[in-house]
Structure 1
Amino acid sequence: MAKSCESECKKLHESRERPGQLAQILVRKSPIERREIREKYMAMYGEDLSNLLQKSTRGEAGVLSSVGGALWLWMLEPIEFDAVVAREALDQQSSETNYRALVEMFVGRKSSHVVMIKQAYLKRFRRQLDQDIGCIEPPHPFKKILVALVASHKAHHADVSQHIAKCDARRLYQTGEGRPGAIDEAVVLEILSKRSIPQLNLTFSSYKHIYGHDYTKSLKNGNYGEFEDALKVVVKCIYNPPKYYAQTLYGSIKGLTKDKGDLARVMMSRSEVDMDEIQRAFRKKYGMEMSEAMCERESNIPSGDYRDFLVALATKTQTIASALS
């Protein structure tokens, strides 16, 4: 890798003012390869490649809505990436709080990873992530759920229990669709704060087994409000991540969501996690490859370097997904 790494660093240096060419070189690199390139570039040119890319994003509203901003985050270590995404999600000066980005982080990362995200967040921004979440204004139902999820990473046990899952499923039913009126928020928040994500996944699976339908179906009552709407998003993310992310990506591609950065954020955060499963879920639900949807005339992504980068990310795992489906 040493010789090819040096050669690629020379190409990157020559293309440093052309984000599209940088993207072509970097998009298919693994986290280890990106780290090696970053270190080699520093040794050769005395500048952090990630910082170089960050400079190209200054003045932009939302770093994830441009190829320069996306590449900057792509070159960060995974922990750094999550810390920056968390800060941008909480930065209300640019827009309203991006609750989905925060939920995806606390649902989709292991507790050991979450601890390191908090450390990276403190080091980079001199702020406590938990405190920033607790200070979200104005109050929102998503905030209650996020606080519970933050607590769950501190309090849960590593092992999962079928017995606890069945008991929690029954409690959710008894304080939800099993009685008139809105669901009991206190019970839901207690369960979310005391159980691990794998344990919660098993609980929602048990709910479907016992009552014959997904827990989210019970949250579609017309009399329910914002808390139930927020809870439905969280449950979907916990119970069936590939389907949740496929729907999120489709909504972003078609311009159905407010946050223009959803697409790049999800593509990069799940790239080395479960993108092959997301690709299969996307194809099953929408009858096409994700890269095809991005390039359709109805797509909300204008042609250019940014779309080329996203398409390359999508096709990075497309072949694997097709082979496994």
Structure 2
Amino acid sequence: MSLVSEFLGQLTLSYGGEAEPTFPTVVPARDFDAAKDAARLETAIKTKGVDEQTIIDILTWRSYDQRREIAFEYEKMSKKDLMSALKGALSGSLEAVMLGLMLSTSQYDASELKSSMKGLGTDEESLIEIVCSRSNAELQDIKTVYKELFKKDLEKDVAGDTSGNFAKLLLALVQGKRDEPSNVVDYEKIDEDAKALYEAGVKRKGTDVVVWISIMSERSVPHLQKVFDRYKSYSPYDMKESIKMEVKGDMEKSFLTLVECFENRQLYFANRLSEAMKGKAAKEKVVTRIMVSRCEVDLMKIRTEFKKQHGKSLYQTLSEHTKGDYQKALLSLCGGDD
């Protein structure tokens, strides 16, 4: 589909679900001129050796909607698709960031899910991060977009690429059965769920994982926060300790991701970023995905949690563990030092 028709098509697209409040680092630019930006990009791409700095300055300082307008103007002006032009001009990690920014958050998540299930072997870590950290509304959007982009059902692809309880858990999340938050606090249900989690795990020999899956994939987040609190009155261990004792591998990672996101989603991402930049070289795939997918969602809050938890700002950490144009792009998305 050409970018122009895709852009026009998107003007009428709207998805259901209540929008959560956002804390972006990337916001719409003031005095925005899409045609001017498109012309500057064309010059930057055509320049001998490519003017990466101009590409970074434009694409990381515009909102997604503005980037789509630029792409629309670019195609009108040059008769070329901006995505293809960027692919031809850039490479490596910088290319991954810039191409990611040309997609909506849902399109980007859908593409990341697709690539984690492509070819031989599954990238379980990416699957877990995306499926277990997104809200019901986000997962609904991702499913819709996945079908549009790849003409396949996300559920079918997940089922074909995973197995056992891991598949059951991911499918339960993707199916979006989670209750919406209610103003009524059901203390009886909270107690019932806390007891059921305890009796299905720590209390017995062997874990009844199906019980854990149904409670963690179907209850609302505020309800589960109260359940985990109540759980401590039944079990000598908190929920995270219980998970580490009861399950291993992908199940352990998935349940821990869920619990961490129920407790504080931004802290989860802050810890993921810190972990990805522990060694000498950053795990660029993880860093890129979080920075691109959260910059217009909650990266400002992730930054705050990062500094609070790790005693060093995200900006500083990115400066130390990345380099070159890739670093410039990430620091721009980060939106400042704390």
- 1:124 alignment counterpart: 149
Counterparts of 1:297-316 in structure 2 under 5 Å? 299=321, 301=322, 303-314=323-334, 316=335
Cα shift at 1:282? 0.8
Aligned partner of 1:308: which letter? Answer: K
Q: Which moves more between the two structures, 186-195 or 285-294?
A: 186-195
How far did 1:263 drift?
0.4
- CA pair 185-67 structure 1, distance change in 2 beyond 3 A: same
Alignment equivalent of 1:158, drawn from 180, 202, 211: 180
Deviation at 1:289, TM superposition (A): 0.8
* Residue 75 of structure 1: aligned partner: 102
- In structure 2, the CA distance between the partners of 1:213 and 1:45, relative to structure 1 (3 Å rule), is farther
State the Cα distance separating 1:276 from its structure 2 match.
1.7
**Which SS does the other structure have where 1:220 is aligned?**
helix
Aligned partner of 1:171 in structure 2 is 196
Task: Give yes or no for contact 2:178–2:220 (8 Å, CA) kept in 1.
Answer: yes
**Contact map agreement 2:224 2:262 (CA 8 A) in 1:** yes
CA offset digits 1:41-69 (Å, max 9, x no partner): 22222233223224457xx7xxxx61012
Whether 1:106 aligns to 2:131 is yes
Give TM-score scaled by structure 1 length.
0.80
Aligned-pair CA distance for 1:251: 1.2
> How far 1:198 sits from its partner (Å)?
4.8
Give 1:27's aligned residue. Answer: 60
TM-superposed CA distance for 1:258, in Å, is 9.4
5 Å matches for 1:245-324? Answer: 245-255=269-279, 260-296=284-320, 299=321, 301=322, 303-314=323-334, 316=335, 318=336, 322=338
CA–CA distance in 1 between the matches of 2:281 and 2:212? 27
**CA 1:8–1:176 in structure 2 vs 1: closer, same or farther (change >3 Å)?**
same
Question: Residue 173 of structure 1 aligns to which amino acid in structure 2?
Answer: Y
Give unmatched runs, 5+ long, in structure 2.
1-29
* Structure 1: gaps spanning 5 or more residues: none
Alignment check: 8 A CA contact 2:128 2:254 kept: no
Secondary structure at the counterpart of residue 54 of structure 2: helix
Tell me the amino acid that sits aligned with residue 109 of structure 2: D
Between the aligned partners of 2:136 and 2:243, the Cα distance in structure 1 is 28
From 168, 182, 207, the counterpart of 1:144: 168
Change (3 A) 1:258 1:4: closer
* Residues 133 and 257 in structure 2, CA contact (< 8 A), matched pair in contact too: no
Q: How far is the alpha carbon of 1:19 from its aligned partner?
A: 3.7
Query: Whole-Å Cα distance in 2 between the matches of residues 128 and 136 of structure 1?
Result: 13
Amino acid at match of 2:141: M
Q: Which has the higher contact order (CA 8 A, sep 6+)?
A: 2
Structure 1 residue aligned with 2:158, among 126, 133, 138? 133
Tell me how far apart the structure 1 counterparts of residues 238 and 280 of structure 2 sit (CA, whole Å): 24
Shift in Å at residue 192 of structure 1? 2.9
Distance across 2 between alignment mates of 1:146 and 1:175: 19
Tell me the number of residue pairs that the alignment of Structure 1 and Structure 2 aligns: 301
Q: What letter corresponds to residue 333 of structure 2 in structure 1?
A: L
Equivalent-residue separation in structure 1 for 2:181 and 2:261 (angstroms): 20
Q: CA deviation digits over 1:56-83, x for unaligned, max 9? A: 57xx7xxxx6101210111112222122
CA RMSD of aligned residues (A): 2.9
Contact 1:103 1:234 survives alignment (8 Å): no
The separation in 1 between residues aligned to 2:326 and 2:266, in whole angstroms, is 24
Cα pair 1:121 1:129 within 8 Å, conserved: yes
Alpha-carbon separation, structure 2, partners of 1:212 and 1:289: 35
Letter of the 2:57 counterpart? Q
Match of residue 49, structure 1, among 72, 78, 82: 82
Alignment partner of 2:93 out of 57, 66, 86: 66
Identity of aligned residues (%): 26
> Which residue of 2 is the match for residue 184 of structure 1?
208
2: CA distance, partners of 1:14 / 1:208: 61
